[in-house]
Amino acid sequence: MRFQRNLFLRLATPKACTLTLAHFRHSRHFSSLFVEHGKKFSARKNTNFTTNGLNYYKMANMQKDPAYDIVVFNGAVLTVNESFEVLENGLVCIADGRLERIEAATPNRPRPQARQTIDARGGIIMPGLVNTHTHAAMSLFRGLADDMALMTWLNDYIFKAEARWLNPENVYTATLLSCAEMLLSGTTTFCDGYFFEDAVAEAVQESGMRAILGQGIVDFPAPGVPDPKENVAEALRFIQRWEGKSHLVGCGLFCHSPYTCSEETLRKARNVADETNTLFQIHVAETQSEVAQIEEKHALSPVQYLDRIGILNSRTLVVHAIWVDDADIACMAERGVGVSVTTESEMKLASGVAPVPAFLKEAIAVGLGTDGCASNNNLDMFQEMDFVAKLHKAIRLDPTVLDAGQVLTLATRGGAEAIGLADRIGSLEVGKKADLIIIDTNKPHLRPLYDPASQLVYAAGGSDVRDVIIDGSAVVRERQLLTMKIEAVMEEVARLAGQIVS
């Protein structure tokens, strides 16, 4: 894509090229040549691109056949597995993008050999966070329209801004900004639904993140799809273009809602999702007015309506699910749907509070999401954990509801299950993908440390994330983003914002 190649010249970083030599040497979707300022560098040769002053291949060649690619040591390992095991002083060994060994450190026993060792320095080693609902490119509209009702916000501001300002290049740039924000705050996987998802996929691929991306579907002219009759067909074409192209990018469809998509559109989209075995995302029961509208038109709640027309199954992600009753929850549980709860966005828009404890009681897979930056207004999953834990205690007048361990699970393993990736990510377990983060706990607000889960949910923030590893490769080291020139990205976003307000 021309827009992607042009922006790569401005936004890529030499550190990114060093990283990708290791990270993408087995990847089909990256060329063996990387371009920086018009020069070509071969991935097969030593170059001048360095990380912390050491050329990756020189460093690798210093060791003869090390057993692992990366060993992370000297930290509390919070596995978030089924039994929520914590290793007070553990080590994690990574090879070929997977977790190969997770164990307590043994005194006087030498560490396993590795091409790279990372000292957690007494911090917390944990699974990367999973953001189950975003509109990543909406970071372009962060703060553009606040403090108003959802329908006013959508119809009078957001839909108009999207129609005017969304194009592949702007979506690519804004998605890079969001990827940077998520990476620096510990999110390693996100589930997105928006327009121009090809541009989103390009940005995700450059950033080194993992994502499931759904092309947006509405029954009116939309950015990139001026003819609504082509909405589902374009979503299918997006899936076909990206199928097998990147092991970090999964595809799906995103039907905006039952009130912006007709029954015919919903059924067509469901058929495509089933035929391609991809995730079907949809906003459901977000507001009382939506529920009233669907009930007036179909004499059913939004959940019951979607079930009647065959939309709900185990490859469905229901987003929000605030205004649901016991019958709706039972239906969702029976169909095996996943739920994404975006508490901060729902609070800001005064949409309501999703009944998370009721979902968990019925064994529904629940994950946390931030929603887009235009309605949150950040992508910090640590903040999301803090809010969801405290809000439910307050409204139920019960401090035992949603304890720290449960909430941390929602942001990791639960989120992975909700979007269909629980067999690959969400916990630190041997055989799973090596997606993990290191929390720097050597800070006043994180001392003393009695309970790692409690500290993460109630005291930590995204700015406490020190290192991020995705698919076995470091993408953030010592709070330095390695895969893009973030200053150049922010400059480009600032330029676009100046145009938007002018």
- Smallest CA-to-CA distance from 89 within 452, 435, 477 is with 452
In the chain, where are the structural domains located?
A: 2-60+482-501, 63-125+438-471, 129-418
| SS3 of 279-324 | EEEEEECCCHHHHHHHHHHHCCCHHHHHHHCCCCCCCEEEEECCCC
- The single-letter DSSP state of residue 128 is P
- Rounded CA gap, 2 and 7, in Å? 9
Q: How far is CA 438 from CA 44, 185, 187, 422, in A?
A: 31, 11, 11, 21
* Overall average pLDDT of the 258-268 stretch: 98
* Overall average pLDDT of the 129-148 stretch: 96
Residue listed under structure tokens 């490859």: 315
Spell out the CATH class of 129-418.
Answer: alpha beta
Which residues, in sequence order, are CB contacts of 345 under 8 Å at separation 6+?
Answer: 351, 370, 371, 372, 375, 376
Tens-digit pLDDT profile for residues 55-80 = 333 344 444 557 899 999 999 999 99
* Overall average pLDDT of the 278-289 stretch: 98
DSSP character string of 162-184? HHHH--HHHHHHHHHHHHHHHHH
- The single-letter DSSP state of residue 450 is S
pLDDT band at 48 (very low <50, low <70, confident <90, very high): very low
Residue listed under structure tokens 């834990």: 389
Which tops the pLDDT comparison, 427 or 154?
Answer: 427
Which residues, in sequence order, are CB contacts of 132 under 8 Å at separation 6+?
Answer: 190, 191, 317, 338, 340, 367, 368, 369, 415, 418, 419
| SS3 of 312-378 | CCCCEEEEECCCCCHHHHHHHHHHCCEEEECHHHHHHCCCCCCCHHHHHHCCCEEEECCCCHHHCCC
Most confident of 11-20, 56-65, 145-154, 187-196: 187-196
- pLDDT reported for residue 49: 24
* Overall average pLDDT of the 34-60 stretch: 32
pLDDT band at 502 (very low <50, low <70, confident <90, very high): confident
* Overall average pLDDT of the 377-388 stretch: 98
- pLDDT reported for residue 232: 98
Tens-digit pLDDT profile for residues 160-216 = 999 999 999 999 999 999 999 999 999 999 999 999 999 999 999 999 999 999 999
Contact 193, 28 (CB under 8 A): no
CA angle 282, 274, 281 (to 5 degrees): 10
Q: 3-state DSSP call for residue 26? A: coil
Structure token digits, residue 241: 């273009």
Given the DSSP bridges, would you call strands 473-477 and 465-470 parallel, antiparallel or unpaired?
Answer: antiparallel
- Rounded CA gap, 293 and 202, in Å? 37
Which residues, in sequence order, are CB contacts of 403 under 8 Å at separation 6+?
Answer: 389
| SS3 of 60-120 | HHCCCCCCEEEEEEEEEEECCCCCCCEEEEEEEEEECCEEEEEEECCCCCCCCCEEEEEEC
- Rounded CA gap, 299 and 381, in Å? 37
Tens-digit pLDDT profile for residues 320-337 = 999 999 999 999 999 999
Residue listed under structure tokens 């005291």: 459
- Rounded CA gap, 275 and 450, in Å? 49
- Rounded CA gap, 359 and 355, in Å? 6
* CA distance between the termini of the chain: 29
- Rounded CA gap, 271 and 263, in Å? 12
- Rounded CA gap, 425 and 98, in Å? 10
Q: 3-state DSSP call for residue 493? A: helix
CATH number of 63-125+438-471: 2.30.40.10
Q: Is 182 left (phi over 0), alpha (psi -120 to 50) or beta?
A: alpha
